[in-house]
Amino acid sequence: MLNCKMNIGRQHHASVCLPDGKIITFGGSIRPRSSWDGSMDMGYASNTYEIFDPASKLFTMGDSRMLVGKTNVSACLMKNGRIFIIGTNASGSVCFEEYDSGTDSFHNSTVFHNRLFHQHVWTISMERCF
């Protein structure tokens, strides 16, 4: 069992294993570590990400930020190397964007119909299905 802590306490986030073995975690509901008291306050939708390196056993904060903070997040590595991220923003609308690790940048944020606790599905050919 690893004894590692993320830089920011978060819940309702999503993680994806990268081809190099590192794990990237996006968004979630966050608030300062000292306020995780078990109350029903869900914090706010984060636009941050962290990368876990199993070799060093450390989490590192990402340099860029998602275009829209998200909670109730799902994420999936696509065959083009980008990561598709979908989640609920602060107003309750579902939004998605893609992260490009090669350029450390986020692209194409679009708001959909309101949904909560959504999931995404991929076909065998890796086409998006909603």
35 within a domain of the structure (yes/no): no
What is the pLDDT, as a whole number, of residue 56? 92
Averaged pLDDT of the chain: 78
CATH number, domain of 58, equals 2.120.10.80
For residue 65, give both structure tokens. Answer: 């930020």
CA–CA separation, 123 vs 69, rounded Å? 27
- What are the tens digits of pLDDT across the range 83-96? 989 888 878 788 88
4 within a domain of the structure (yes/no): no
75 within a domain of the structure (yes/no): yes
Number of domains in the chain: 1
CA–CA separation, 123 vs 70, rounded Å? 24
| Helix (H) or strand (E) segment spanning residue 13 | none
102 within a domain of the structure (yes/no): yes
Instruction: Say if pTM beats, i.e. exceeds, 0.95.
Output: no
What is the pLDDT, as a whole number, of residue 126? 46
64 within a domain of the structure (yes/no): yes
